[in-house]
Chains A and B, each alone.
Chain A
Amino acid sequence: MRVFLLLSALWCCVTGLADFIRIGNTGEPATLDPHRYNLRLEETILNDLYLGLTTMSPAGHIVPGAAISWDVSRDGLTWTFELRPNARWSDGEPVTAEDFVFSYQRLLNPQTASSLAFFMYPIKNAEAINSGNAPLNSLGVTALTMHRLAIELEKPFPFFAERLLYPTAYPVPPHAIAAHGDAWVKPGNMVTNGAFILADWRPQGFVELAKNQHFYDAFNVALPGVRYIPVQNATTALNRYRAGELDVILEFPAGELRWLRQHMADHVRVSPLLSVMYLVFNVSEPPFNDARVRKALALAIDRRILTEKVLKSGERISYGLVPSMVANYPTATTQLPDRALARNLLRAAGFTQDNPLKLTLRYFTGDENKRIQIAIASMWRSVGVQTSLHHAELNVHFADLRQGNFQVAHAGWFGENNPEHYLELLMSDIGDVNYGRYMSPKYDRLMRQAKRTADLETRITLLKGAEIEGLRDFSVIPLYSVMIRSLVDPQILGWHTNPRNVHGARYLHWK
């Protein structure tokens, strides 16, 4: 027995894996290049590897990152950042303002083909550069001194500090990219400025991060490393967690919540994600160009049943397009189901028992989505509407939506603590993410006015006006905010639920 203990202790010293936290991520990262990333599950890992100008506190607040402080000019157009003088790359090189200039130019360079480059379009000339219509050096990002960075914007954008949280705004190491070319993202080549470095990456096996000794706050990073293990299937994730193979899983099946609450209550972390799930009508196609039909279908849905009986994880009902968690923004008014009115509206629109409304409801593959659509179809049947369901993989689903190839569809929007991020979806000139091709001159006018306004309060009032206008037309039916369902080993401290569901491993430690 003693020999065994000794051996296992020795083994732990050799590998150092004993103190690693093993996190079951929701899938395999497609890339760890912050400028080419595309998925939320990559954000989690990149957030451990890199440090942007701003970063998130354990509770999800915006706090200084690579920048100690920043100033915004009176007109809201110029942001000046003071960088940490002691910030270093993982190979010991200092992190400078020039590195950020290089990084943002790389992000917006059309040759990088970054799919999320538009996150940085608020920067002056960013869109023109990314479309190939302006030279790289015309970008509104300048190194004033070695540790002073100025960013000029196209228009006032009060939420810019939050935009900088995304990996698209992380710095990348110019010297490592110069040395290794495209292979700079491989373990051994990758140089980072965050709390961890990339130690190993086995595709579909795991991504292993080790502590970065050059991190400016390395003293306060307790973990020697983290292992992100891709587990696509939430049931498999739960099985592996219960078998002790994972210390944290970022998603478990909704149906197991009750059992887990009864048997493993101190492991369960359930909290709302900053998001809105909604149904969208293709308003360019009859009969959904008739507001009465859209209103009838909206009134037939009982959101309380969806959240309390079907989903049951404590989801918050959404009556408006902006999630109720978004700060400083008044939530939309409650709208109760009214089946009698729904039937009358349908009758007025020409749909009777002999000539019922028939429609196809599209959604993307997933257990939760499936149960929601089944329930909605059943609610619509009770007002005499015949629904057929059609599901497709995420890629195909959203390609269909963008091409307007649908009647009614389920969609979701994730992301920011910023009402515009959600309300933009209904602007007529936003492009094909306005899936339903909703067009209201009044809505567009209010939104454009808001975007030109630097004063936050006036801006919010204008945005709210636009939201009310959009909801009055029933072009979308907001349903609920998604819940994050994670399991975290009670031995791990420092794990705070936050609405973005990003948990920096630098804040975690074992009991």
Chain B
Amino acid sequence: MHRGSRTSIVCILLLAIALFLGPWLSPWGEEHIDWNAIDTPPSLVHWFGTDGSGRDLLVRTMAGGRVSLTIAFLATLVSFAIGLPWGAIAGYTGGRVDQVMMRIVDGLYGLPFMFLVILLVVFFGRNPYLLFIAIGAVSWLDLARIVRGQTLVVKNAMYIEAAKALGVSDPWIVTRHVVPNVMGPALVYATLTIPGVIIAESFISFLGLGIQEPQTSWGVLIADGATRLHAPWQLIFPATFLAVTLLVLNVAGDQLRDAMDPQEKGVRL
């Protein structure tokens, strides 16, 4: 594996471990209020300072990251659950079915999805489950296209031809032979979906339409921090965490993709 992608993956793992284990090491609870330390800048007691309600910002940032990452992961799973079978079936079946299924995907690209997601969340409550299902349900389109492309390649492979000749049923071939073979590229593209979902979630939370107090997410923390001109640490810490996470995920996704696509080598002008 590429050295750079290994570094990025190690970074992501370290971040995840910090987010999930960090709270155990901090003396402050996620909802604990320090009445005498409302809006205090970073200090030895509160490393990241406190928020407008007197809660430890380090602990809040970790908690927000857990929510953001969890939602991103679950939404990606949802998009996987739709996009993988969609692309595999379209690609494997081909013909009329393929045309109709891909035309639907084309049509859906034309929809203002972010708006429908916002309508859903505004109208049916700020429920984290709803949030990730809605985001996941709208971000499977790219995946479906890529899986279809890969399926077309795999479809003509010898062993599939052989299986067909032996009279193995189509569902069996798709689940046992096609899906495992397109899994790799699909997973790589999923890592590129995750930052997109993180942005979508923070975007909705930033508009005040996402996660509810006392739960939090990076989007909520950034939106709160953005209103505090003279408490810049409340913006800087969550914003840095979000930016670094997005960066690392994007770099990792890129490098994984490059590693799988050996085409791009040694052209120089």
Q: With A309-B38, A310-B38 in contact, is A375–B53 under 8 Å at CB?
A: yes
Chain B nearest CB: distance from A259 CB in Å?
A: 4
Q: How far is the CA of A375 from the CA of B213 in the complex (A)?
A: 12
Q: With A365-B208, A378-B33 in contact, is A389–B214 under 8 Å at CB?
A: yes
A367 at the interface (CB under 8 A from B): yes
Note all chain B residues with C-beta closer than 8 A to A255.
39, 52, 227-228, 230-231
B-side interface mostly: loop
The answer to whether A253 touches B35, judged by C-beta atoms less than 8 angstroms apart, is no
Chain B nearest CB: distance from A406 CB in Å?
A: 14
B170 at the interface (CB under 8 A from A): no
Q: Which of A233, A258, A310, A390 contacts B53 (CB 8 A)?
A: A310
Contact with A along B126-153 (1 / 0, CB 8 A): 1000000000000000000000000000
Q: Which of B36, B39, B214, B226 contacts A377 (CB 8 A)?
A: B214
B224 to chain A: closest residue by CB: A367
The answer to whether A235 touches B227, judged by C-beta atoms less than 8 angstroms apart, is yes
A180 at the interface (CB under 8 A from B): no
Q: Which of B39, B54, B55, B212 contacts A390 (CB 8 A)?
A: B212
A256 at the interface (CB under 8 A from B): yes
28 cross-chain CB contacts under 8 A? A233-B227, A235-B226, A235-B227, A235-B228, A255-B39, A255-B231, A256-B228, A256-B229, A258-B230, A259-B229, A259-B230, A305-B35, A309-B54, A365-B208, A367-B52, A370-B213, A371-B53, A374-B33, A374-B53, A374-B213, A374-B214, A375-B33, A378-B31, A378-B33, A381-B31, A389-B213, A390-B212, A391-B213
Q: Could you count the A-B residue pairs with CB atoms below 8 Å apart for me: how many are there?
A: 61
The answer to whether A371 touches B227, judged by C-beta atoms less than 8 angstroms apart, is no
The answer to whether B228 touches A391, judged by C-beta atoms less than 8 angstroms apart, is no
Q: With A309-B35, A365-B208 in contact, is A253–B214 under 8 Å at CB?
A: no
The answer to whether B228 touches A253, judged by C-beta atoms less than 8 angstroms apart, is yes
Q: Which of B39, B54, B213 contacts A373 (CB 8 A)?
A: B213
A374 to chain B: closest residue by CB: B53
The answer to whether A256 touches B35, judged by C-beta atoms less than 8 angstroms apart, is no
Chain A nearest CB: distance from B21 CB in Å?
A: 25
Contact with B along A249-276 (1 / 0, CB 8 A): 0000101101100000000000000000
A454 at the interface (CB under 8 A from B): no
Chain A nearest CB: distance from B236 CB in Å?
A: 16
Note all chain A residues with C-beta closer than 8 A to B208.
365
Chain B nearest CB: distance from A403 CB in Å?
A: 15
Note all chain A residues with C-beta closer than 8 A to B227.
233-235, 253, 255, 367
Q: Which of B31, B33, B212, B226 contacts A391 (CB 8 A)?
A: B212
Note all chain A residues with C-beta closer than 8 A to B54.
309
Q: How far is the CA of A238 from the CA of B212 in the complex (A)?
A: 26
Note all chain B residues with C-beta closer than 8 A to A371.
52-53
The answer to whether B212 touches A389, judged by C-beta atoms less than 8 angstroms apart, is yes
Note all chain B residues with C-beta closer than 8 A to A259.
229-230
Q: How far is the CA of A377 from the CA of B30 in the complex (A)?
A: 13
B234 to chain A: closest residue by CB: A255
Note all chain B residues with C-beta closer than 8 A to A69.
none
Q: How far is the CA of A374 from the CA of B53 in the complex (A)?
A: 7
Q: How far is the CA of A309 from the CA of B36 in the complex (A)?
A: 8
Note all chain A residues with C-beta closer than 8 A to B230.
255-256, 258-259
CB under 8 Å from chain A, chain B span 37-56: 38-39, 52-55
* 10 residue pairs, one from A and one from B, having the closest CB atoms: A235-B227, A259-B230, A378-B33, A374-B53, A389-B213, A371-B53, A309-B35, A255-B228, A253-B227, A255-B52
Q: How far is the CA of A208 from the CA of B32 in the complex (A)?
A: 48
A-side interface mostly: helix
Note all chain A residues with C-beta closer than 8 A to B229.
235, 238-239, 256, 259
Residues of B within 8 A of A (CB): 31-33, 35-36, 38-39, 52-55, 122, 125-126, 208, 212-214, 224, 226-231
Chain A nearest CB: distance from B57 CB in Å?
A: 14
Contact with B along A380-391 (1 / 0, CB 8 A): 010000000111
Note all chain B residues with C-beta closer than 8 A to A377.
31, 214
Note all chain A residues with C-beta closer than 8 A to B36.
309
Chain A nearest CB: distance from B8 CB in Å?
A: 35
A233 to chain B: closest residue by CB: B227
Beyond contacts A233-B227, A258-B230, A375-B33: 12 other A-B pairs, Cβ-Cβ < 8 A, are: A235-B227, A235-B228, A253-B228, A255-B228, A256-B228, A309-B54, A365-B208, A367-B52, A374-B53, A374-B214, A378-B31, A391-B213
Q: How far is the CA of A253 from the CA of B208 in the complex (A)?
A: 16
Note all chain B residues with C-beta closer than 8 A to A233.
227
Q: How far is the CA of A259 from the CA of B229 in the complex (A)?
A: 10
A367 to chain B: closest residue by CB: B227
Q: How far is the CA of A374 from the CA of B230 in the complex (A)?
A: 22
B35 to chain A: closest residue by CB: A309
Chain A nearest CB: distance from B47 CB in Å?
A: 21
Q: How far is the CA of A258 from the CA of B208 in the complex (A)?
A: 25
Chain B nearest CB: distance from A392 CB in Å?
A: 8
Chain A nearest CB: distance from B243 CB in Å?
A: 21
Note all chain B residues with C-beta closer than 8 A to A370.
53, 213
Chain A nearest CB: distance from B254 CB in Å?
A: 35
Q: How far is the CA of A238 from the CA of B227 in the complex (A)?
A: 10
Contact with B along A85-114 (1 / 0, CB 8 A): 000000000000000000000000000000
Chain B nearest CB: distance from A232 CB in Å?
A: 11
Q: How far is the CA of A309 from the CA of B55 in the complex (A)?
A: 13
Note all chain A residues with C-beta closer than 8 A to B212.
389-391
Q: How far is the CA of A310 from the CA of B36 in the complex (A)?
A: 10
Chain A nearest CB: distance from B130 CB in Å?
A: 14
B229 to chain A: closest residue by CB: A256
Q: How far is the CA of A488 from the CA of B76 in the complex (A)?
A: 50
